[in-house]
Structure formats: structure tokens, C-alpha cells
Amino acid sequence: MTIFLLGPLLFVAAMSFAQRGENGEIVWRLTTENYARLFGQGALGFDPVHPLLLARSLGVGVVTAALCLLAGLPVAFFIARLPRRWKGAVLTLVVIPFWTNLLIRTYGWQIILAPDGWVADVLRTAGWLAQGAELYPGWPAVLIALVCDYLPFMILPLYASVEKLDPALEEAAADLGASPMQAFWHVVLPQIRPGLVAGCVLVFLPATGQFVIPDLLGGAKLALLGNAVQQQFGASRDWPFGSAIAVAALLVMGAGLWLHTWMTKGKREVALP
Amino acid sequence: MNTRRSPLTAVAALVALVFLYAPLAVVLVFSFNAARYGTDWQGFTVDWYVRLLNNPTAIAAAINTLQLAFTSTFFATLFGTALAYGMSRYEFPGKGLFHHVLHIPVFIPDIVLGVALLLFFALVRRFLAGFELGMTTMTLAHITLQIPFIAIVVRARMADCDPQLEEAAADLGAGPWLTFRHVTLPLMMPGIVAGSLLAFTLSLDDFVVSFFTSGPGATTLPILIYSSVKRGLTPEVHALASLIVVVSAASVITVAILRGRSQVRS
């Protein structure tokens, strides 16, 4: 188990310091060239492609987490306040799409958001979508599919926190003259913070490394870290550089987890669906 | 308990559920659409399902997928259970580190795991002639992916069990094997079943890891779907996808019922 897991990962890390030969073979000579490329050093001076890629991936992760939070909060409150015997059923309902094939859900969105589909038509008629602009391929489709994909990751830990919430505190705040908004901000939010942080991390990490969704819904211009890894391992046959990107993705993951542990002071609540 | 329920959260929850199920519903609906091209509804048909069953490529991929899922789940369940048992009953040096290592595949982007295993297999191939990418490498990759999930679920189950039960069995004269067979294993069983179902679903659904570790010969259903999406969708793919969705949903519901039952019992 350790051999099959740590071995390959260490091998990737080692590979990221190697060079690419003429025909895509691997030349084992120690170099940091791959990382320099990742941070924008090109053959002809500064090349923004890869730093932009990093920034775009992180940005997508943050935006997806924020959107999931907005969508997930009311749902978590709704489920937590259901009668006991309904909770399990609704939670299962939330989890089922997560366990169905990601590819299927992704191409489902492809159909819904098609340029000549009715969603695009309605939005155009309402004037919310410019004539000639498209939902798919493009950012809207990628974000919609990402939120749809990772929403369960947000709802489950949020629900676990909301469930433990003591409603008496909220009522006390109201009795002491706090507006609902103030009560939420000062009383509810600090209490559900562990779930909130866990949810954001659980959404952010996989969203940053997503490969299928941007590949199928984004078109060529919206590549993220995952697509770049695939590109280097597939078409470009530059395995060392691909490894460097994979290591970067791992570091992002490590940083996210560390931030999580730090924010919750070591009391990690890992919610596995 | 707070009984105050705002209609706003109910609406939000409904919208979220519709949002979650929309892509699945679309695929399901279109698998019964008689139209060969486009998104217009031209009447109900089960024709695509019939054609799918007569499509040798799809059948071969389905057999590969199931074979892969059963084989890898079987071995992952053995190893994962042994791991969970060892970790909750024995102390060994480096256990803390090992605990963290175990969680890596849960958080790691699957593409990183995929390329890592690909590189690893490429390395093995240099020393071992005849070790080609294909079903074997894919099975090994899936076992690696599944073990942590099984171990985590089984361990959670074991943490809920009272170790005094095992001591009682030993006091009553049962040997280590008898104790394990008649006390520990039945206690672990709900965890093992839930964990292996989860792992099975994971294997059925996995595309990214398979994509990197399969050779040209071994195609699974998710790989088949991916290449059809890239080439252009046909209603047959909708039919195939719908069948997969139904199987996954059934397995999730089974896990939920199993978990619910074990909670009631304990």
C-alpha cells in the first residue's frame, strides 16, 4: 500500500527535476528548469502562460467554493431543521448525484447549456446573455458544472455543523435586540465555522485539480492544472514538465489542508459522503 | 429543537436538488428520445437500449468495467480490512504518519494519482519485460485508490465496537481465530460491506485513473463515454449512461440503508 502510493508520488517529484529529451524521452539530469517554466520563464523571456494557468486554477477553486457556500448554506439549514426521519432520506438524495459518474453529469450540462438550447434562448430573450455569447463552451458552463459537482461536499460538513447549533442562543440574541442579520453574523456564523471551513476546503481542493469538466465544457482556452498535466503527459510527451505541474497541484493541496488544520486548530472534521 | 422553518430555505433546497439532478434527468430523458440528432423530442422509444445490447464494443467495455470493479474491490476489501484491523488493534512505529498517508488518495486530485501510477508502471516496465499497460495495471491502480476508503470506513466501524467483547470471548476459552471468526468479523461486517460497496462504486465511476493506466486494449465504460463525448454523442451513449446512473444510485441507496440499520442496532 505504502509502496503503491508513496513510491509513485516520490517518483513524480523526482521526475519533475529531470529533463525532456529530443523525442520526449526522459533525461535524468538534475534541473530546476521545469519549475522555472511553471513560474513564467520561457525561452524568450517572460512567458505568462503557466503562471496564468496556476492563477486561473486557484481562482476557479475559490469561486467554486464561494458559490457552493452560497448555495449550500440554505440547504444545510433546511435539512438540519427537517423532522428526524426525513433527514437521512434528503441527505441520501443530496449524495446520490455525487456517486453517479462525473462524465455523465458533465455531458448532461453540455446538452442543457448547448448554444441553441432553451436555457441559452431564455437568457438571451431576457437580455442576460449577449447575442452571440455562449454558455458552453466557456466559463459559465465550467462553473455551473463544478458547483453542481461539488455542492454535496459543501452541504455535508455544513449540515453537520448546523445540526449541532443550539437554537436557544439564536433566540437569546433576538431577545437581546439583535436583528436577524446581526444574530446570524455574530451568533450563528462562529458556531458553524468548522463545517464552513471544512466545506470550503473540500470543494476548493478537488475543484482546483479538476480535469474532466474544463476539458469537456471549457474549450481549449480554459485549461486548468489538471488539463495541463494531461497535455504534458499526452500530446506534448514532456513527462518531467507534467510532473512539475502535478507537484504544484500537490503543493496547493498540501497548503489547503494545512490551512484547514490551522484554522480549525487541529480539530479536523473530515466528512466522507 | 428549533421548529422554525423558513420557506426561503425550503425553496433554496428544492432549487439545489433540481440543480443537482438536472444533468442526470436530461440524459435519462434523451435516452428515450426517438430523434437521432439534435435536442427535439420526437417520441418515446427503447430502441437505443436494444441497439446498445447488440453493440459489441459497449458489451466488451461493460465486461471490462465489471471485471475490473469486482477484482479490485475483492483485493482492496481484503487489504483494507486487514489494514483497518491492524491499525485499530495494534500499535506500531510510524502509525501516525501512516494514518496521514492513508488519507492522501481521499484528497489528492485523481489526475495526480493517475500520472503517478502511470510513471510508476512505466518504471516497472523497464525492468520487467512483458509488463504492459492494460487490465492488470488498471486493477492495481484501482486497488490503490480503493484501499484507503475501505480502511477508513471499516476503522470507523471498529472504533464504535467494544473491545471488551473480544476479551470476553477470550476469557470464555475461544482462541484468537475463533474470537476473530465469531466475534470480531461479525462486528466489522457492516463496515466491510459498506466500505466495499463504496469502493465498488468508486471503481465503476472512475475515469481519470483508468484513463492514464489503461493500455490501448482495455476500454472501460467511462473511457468509452469520454471518447464518445469527444467524437459526438449518440442516443446509445445516453442509454448506456442512464443504465450506469441507475446502478450507481441503487448501490448508494443500499449503502445508506445498511448504514441506517447498523446505527439502529448499535
pLDDT digits 0-9 by tens, B116-161: 888 778 777 777 766 677 788 888 888 888 888 888 888 888 877 7
A112: Cβ–Cβ under 8 A, 6 or more apart, which residues?
A119, B22, B23, B26
In chain A, whose CA is at the least distance from the CA of B149? A272
pTM, full prediction: 0.76
Task: Place B74 in a pLDDT band, splitting at 50, 70 and 90.
Answer: very high
Can you tell me the ipTM of this complex?
Answer: 0.73
Q: Convert the pLDDT of each residue in B7-49 to its tens digit.
A: 777 888 888 888 888 888 888 888 887 777 666 677 777 777 8
Task: Determine the pLDDT at residue A269.
Answer: 47
- What domains are defined for chain A? 2-263 (1.10.3720.10)
Rounded Cα distance between B146 and B66, Å, is: 15
In a domain, B10, yes or no: no
Q: At residue B186, does pLDDT exceed 70? A: yes
Report d(CA A17, CA B62) in Å as an integer. 40
Q: In the Cβ-directed half-sphere of B259, how many Cα atoms lie within 13 Å? A: 20
CB atoms within 10 A of CB A11: 17
Mean pLDDT value of segment B175-204 = 83
Tally of domains within chain B: 1
pLDDT of residue B2: 42
Chain B interface mutation, best of A57, A107, A110, A268, highest count of B Cβ atoms under 10 Å? A107
**Residue B24 belongs to a domain:** no
Distances (CA, A) of A174 to A76, A169, A184: 21, 9, 10
Question: Residue B164: in which H helix or E strand, if any?
Answer: helix B163-171
Assigned domain for B225 exists: yes
Residues spanned by the domain of B260: 56-265
Number of Cβ atoms within 10 Å of the Cβ of B47: 15
- Residue B146 domain-assigned (yes or no): yes
pLDDT score at B72: 92
Q: How far A42 CA lies from chain B's nearest CA (Å)?
A: 24
Judge whether B46 lies within some domain.
Answer: no
**Helical spans, DSSP H, in chain A:** 2-15, 33-38, 49-80, 84-99, 102-112, 118-125, 139-164, 167-175, 180-183, 189-208, 212-213, 225-233, 239-263
- Averaged pLDDT, B173-188: 80
The pLDDT value recorded for residue A40 is 57
Q: Would B35 be classed as within a structural domain?
A: no
Give me the residue from A92, A95, A257 closest to B107, CB to CB. A257
Closest CA to A151 of A211, A98, A210, A108: A98
Residues 6 or more apart in contact with residue A92 via CB below 8 angstroms: B252, B253, B256
Q: Tens digit of pLDDT for each residue in B96-105?
A: 777 777 777 7
* Per-residue model confidence (pLDDT) at position B236: 81
pLDDT tens digits, B196-245:
888 888 888 888 888 888 877 678 888 888 888 777 777 788 888 888 88
Instruction: Tell me what the pLDDT averaged over chain A comes to.
Output: 73
**Residue A27 in contact with residue A21, Cβ under 8 Å?**
yes
Residue contact A216–B229, C-beta within 8 A: yes
Contact residues on chain A for B112, CB-CB shorter than 8 A = 9, 12, 209, 229, 246, 249-250
Closest Cβ–Cβ partner in B17, B109, B201 for A93: B17
| Confidence bin at B71 (pLDDT 50/70/90) | very high
* Lowest-pLDDT range of A233-237, B85-89, B189-193: A233-237
Is B143 part of any domain? yes
CA distance B159 to A196: 26
E strand or H helix that includes residue A20: strand A19-20
B123 in contact with chain A, both atoms CB, cutoff 8 A: yes
Residue B191 resides in a domain: yes
Cβ within 8 Å, pair B16-A71: yes
CATH code of B206's domain: 1.10.3720.10
- Given this model, what pLDDT does residue A272 score? 43
The B residues from 191 to 250 touching A (CB cutoff 8 Å) are: 201, 204-205, 207-208, 212, 222, 225-226, 229, 233, 241, 244-245, 248-249
Burial group, residue A237, by CB count within 10 angstroms (0-12, 13-18, 19+): middle
Give pLDDT tens digits along chain A (273 positions). Answer: 555 556 666 666 666 555 554 445 555 555 666 666 666 555 555 566 677 777 778 888 888 888 888 888 888 888 888 887 788 788 888 888 887 778 888 888 888 877 776 777 677 776 666 666 666 677 778 888 888 888 888 888 888 888 777 777 777 777 787 777 777 777 777 777 777 888 888 888 778 777 777 777 776 666 677 777 777 776 666 677 777 777 777 777 777 777 776 766 555 444 443
